[in-house]
Amino acid sequence: MPTYNILFYIRRNKINTNRQIPIYCRVTVDGKRAEFSINRWVSPDKWHSGLSRVRGNKEDARSINNHIEKIRIKLNDIHTQLLKENKNISARTIVNIFSGSADKKMSLIELFKYHNQLVKEKIGIDFAKATYIRYETTLNHISRFLLHQYRIQDILLMELNYKIITDFEHYLKTVHGCNHNTSIKYIRNFRKIIHMAVANEWLEKDPFHKFKSKLKDVERIFLTAEELQAMEEKEISIPRLERVRDAFVFCCYTGLSYIDLKTLSQDDIIMGIDGKEWISLNRAKTGVRSNIPLLPKPLQIIDKYREDPECAFTKLLMPIKSNQKMNAFLKEIAVLCGINKDLHWHTSRHTFATTVTLTNNVPIETVSSMLGHKNIRTTQIYAKVVEKKVSNDMAALEDKLSTRKMKTGQTSS
């Protein structure tokens, strides 16, 4: 049985115009406290700390002491009832029931919608639109999960537990077909919502307390120097594919993501400290400023589309289709160029980080800055990719040297 205690005390740091101080009640369960004012005031010299009562037998003293005793009895009754019902007992729960705030029970979907509305109002200030969409998608998954798993449309926060979280993970991976990392990202969004509830004291116990979520390392696909050159030099007679190829190569030499490329305009081109043209923009995903010196190849591509009618109409540097179409066309381009890899648009960003910069000894701090990463640890993932490639190349070299040595030995014998 959890330890339980009630204490009435005065707050000497508060005093009114009559030189009186307020009386507070503190409920403690297993060392955790919840406090509230009993809306009574007393002169400091009339308070008996040992007895938690007002000294004397005058009418005002008897009135306050009776009020204290009524509160004590009601709190004890609440504690006893929770024990009988075998419910979770905490200081905050007891005080909430006493004050009536426990009747204002918030639900998960209600909280999620409240959170998402806050995010929506801060789009362009603290959040990108993509962040809001990601939370809305998570909310949709939660709603479908509750309906599928429990045949309910919502659930109270106080009813959440560890099993519901693991059931949600199972649902994402099996029913919805998400891979491990995608599932964990949705669950982390869910977790942020719950942390908000705990911080606001709408939920006392964090159901995620024992839940462990770790992303698995995934192989990041990038173009080698030879593959990038093959794509650059390939003669493509189909205009739609040529445009996508040019845009993709442009990103391979700048590290821009699709969403940043889609809005790239002449206003984002500045004169750098070296007197040459740079891209300077805030990344759509993170809001971090990214400054990228333009190499000869992307400059050539910009010049190629300077008089393009579509670019002239949109005021953008390159003609860009939807992400879905760009990725679909990219797969066609890979076949034309003889590249046997499952390319997607983010492959260009990986190529910039590995083949174009880190492999050519550009310092990782510089690469991180150009990519617009908030934390250099994100960039270090690419450094590991480069190290792995070096390791594989050296292993292949070792095999060649070993084979050559064996042949030399056989020849001399």
Q: Do 210 and 164 form a contact (C-beta atoms < 8 A)?
A: no
DSSP H or E run through 27: strand 21-29
> What are the E-state strand segments in 214-344?
269-271, 277-282, 289-293
pLDDT at 156: 85
CATH code of 225-393, in short, is 1.10.443.10
pLDDT at 409: 62
- Is the pTM value of this prediction over 0.75? no
Burial class (CB in 10 A: 0-12, 13-18, 19+), 303: exposed
- Residue range 374-407, pLDDT digits in tens: 888 878 888 777 766 667 677 777 777 777 766 6
Q: Which of 5, 45, 50, 54 is nearest to 25 (CA)?
A: 5
Q: Which of 279, 270, 221 is nearest to 250 (CA)?
A: 279
At residue 42, the 3 state secondary structure works out as strand
**Alpha carbon 40 to chain centroid, angstroms:** 46
pLDDT at 102: 52
Strand order through the sheet with 277-282: 269-271, 277-282, 289-293
- Residue range 218-269, pLDDT digits in tens: 778 899 999 999 999 999 999 999 999 999 999 999 999 998 999 999 999 9
- Residue range 288-320, pLDDT digits in tens: 888 999 999 999 999 999 989 988 888 899 889
Q: Do 29 and 91 form a contact (C-beta atoms < 8 A)?
A: yes
Q: Do 41 and 22 form a contact (C-beta atoms < 8 A)?
A: yes
Q: Do 164 and 187 form a contact (C-beta atoms < 8 A)?
A: no
The overall average pLDDT reported for the chain is 88
Higher pLDDT, 1 or 352: 352
pLDDT at 159 over 90: no
Q: Do 9 and 49 form a contact (C-beta atoms < 8 A)?
A: yes
Residue boundaries of the structural domains of the chain: 4-103, 108-199, 225-393
- Residue range 109-129, pLDDT digits in tens: 989 998 999 899 888 777 878
Where do the H-state alpha helices sit in 175-220?
180-199
Q: CB count, 10 Å around CB of 225?
A: 12
Higher pLDDT, 36 or 96: 36
